Every structure is written in C-alpha cells, then in structure tokens.
Amino acid sequence: MGQSITTYIEDLFKYLKDYESDYSTFEAEAFFQTYNGVCAVFQALREQRDKAVEVDRVFLEKIKQRPLNSSDLRQLTVQIIISFFESVADTDGQSNRAYMYCREFRNVKRDVAYFETFLMPLLTREGSLNNNFKLNHFFLKEIGRFIRTFGSSSAKEVNFEDFKGMPVYQKLLTLHMRRAELGDGVANDRDSLEHHMRNTGVFDKLKHEGSLPESYLREWNYLIEESFMDRLKESLSEAWGKLKGFFSSFNYVRLALAQRYSGYMFYGLIMVLFILLAFLVPKKWMSYSQSRLAEFEQRVEETMDATGR
C-alpha cells in the first residue's frame, strides 16, 4: 500500500502543477479521484506506523517543492488534506512533520478556526478556483466534513438573527453544514430556518452578493422561481388550510380566542374583512349599476332607431 499511496500523492501534486502552469490542461474529475484515493487510506495508516511515517515524508517533500501560496488550489488542497492526515492517521506524533510545516504558515493555529476564518474566505472570494463551481463545491464539502468531524459546534443552533449578521462566506458554510446535518430537503420543512428565509426574501438578497452565492442557492434549490401569482396562490392555500384547521373544533376556537394574541389576530382580521367589504361592495354595486344603465341607454337608442325617431 505504501507504494500505491506514494504514487497517488505524486499524481495529486502533478495536478496542482497543471492547474498553475496551464489551467486548460487541468482535469478536475481526475483530481477529485486522486484526492479521494489519497484520503481513503488514512484510517488504515493508524495501524501501520512505518508506512504512515513514509507517507508523511513524501507529503513533506512534495509540499516543499513550491510555496503554499502559489495558487488558491494548492493552499486549499495541501492545508485540508494534510490536516485530515494528521488528525486521522497520526496517533503517536511520529507522522506529523508535514502538518507542522504547513501549520507554520497559518495566522490561526487551530484547524477548525483556520478553516473558518482563512480557507472559507479564500474559497468564496471573487474568481476563486478560476470560477470552477465543481472545484469550489468539492472543497466546501471537504471543509464542512472536517469541521463536522473534528469541530465542536453545530450549525443546527444557528438562528435567524445569527445568520443575518454573518459574512457571505460564513453564510454559505452554515447553509452547507445545516444541509449535511438536517438533510438536503431541509428547506421544505415549514418549521426550518431555511424555509423561513426563503419565504422572507433573505436568499433573494444573498444571491446579489455575487455569482458564487447565487450558484450555491440554485444548486440547493433555495431560490423561489415561481411567479408572483404562484406564490400568492400558495400563500392563500396555506392560510386557508390553517383557517380550516383553526375552526375544525369549537372548543379549540374558544380556547384560542381566549388567548390575547390569538384574539387580537382574529378580531383584527374580522375588522379588516369588514373594512374591505365596506369599500368593495359599494364599488362593485356602482360598477354593476353603471353597466345596467349603459345597457338600458343602448336599448333606448336601438328602439328609437327602429321606430325612426
């Protein structure tokens, strides 16, 4: 296995060189397969310490060949994969030389904090990764996977006010983390934060922050694409369903109206309804009267024409 993983590592750094020297020759799918092939053996290396030390040596040799900041792809790839390697494979501190070398270039030493405060802004800046959305999405998932595995906080705890105060890169990471924890269909849950933000236009505002946020929101189906009439029908249907449920039991209605907020809402709606009727009924009656008058006048004219008067 040692020879196999060494070959994978060499291929991985070859793809980084291709990206930096001639992007048109860079093969994203092959890069993904190679990256995943390297990561796949990390768990086994926990028990094979000699091979883990050798892999660490190869990593360090390849990493030192070029500056880490040669490209955004090199920074993201090296810092993420070497952090996984150290966290998963290094059990005795004998195979962490490559990790310690990379760590010296970080302005934040803790892995999760570094991912959140440096790698995410790097990933989401304008034009990152040559605007390759597949590459961007791949690394967003890798960052999220590392944080979920080795971090302590949960995106489930984020509320509406917390989300609104976040920078764009943190919003995208939070949305991805919540999808990973709560499922891809979280926005369809009427009680979810995502459903509320989609219906209140938060995502519509977020998409104007740049092409990348819009791409993610479309990828996750978080944007409302139907027409105004479709949204109106959906809202009226939802309101009608709640109203029918409200009046399904007389005892429930009586109990609900005894509550101050529910009572205010109910009587307020009744007042609004009567006010609307007070305007609409006379208007409709006037329109009907004018229509009937116009018909009567037309008949009179036709009768006069017919009698020659």
Distance CA 103, CA 111 (A): 9
CA 214 → CA 1, 98, 201, 205, 253, distances in Å? 42, 37, 13, 10, 44
Q: Is 64 helix (H, G, I), strand (E, B) or coil?
A: coil
Give burial (CB, 10 Å; 0-12/13-18/19+) of 148. middle
Distance CA 94, CA 258 (A): 70
Q: Measured between alpha carbons, how far apart are the two ends of the chain, in Å?
A: 111
Q: Where are the domains of the chain?
A: 1-114, 259-309
Distance CA 218, CA 223 (A): 6
Per the confidence metrics, is the pTM higher than 0.85?
no
Nearest to 208 by CA among 188, 225, 223: 223
Please compute, for residue 200, the number of CA atoms within 13 A of its CA located in the half-sphere on the CB side: 10
Q: pLDDT tens digits for the chain (309 residues)?
A: 445 899 999 999 999 999 999 999 999 999 999 999 999 999 999 999 999 999 999 999 999 999 999 999 999 999 999 999 999 999 999 999 999 999 999 999 999 999 999 999 999 999 999 999 999 999 999 999 999 999 987 888 899 999 999 999 999 999 999 999 999 999 999 999 999 999 999 999 999 999 999 999 999 999 986 555 555 566 666 666 655 655 555 554 555 555 555 555 666 777 777 787 777 777 777 776 776 766 666 666 666 666 655
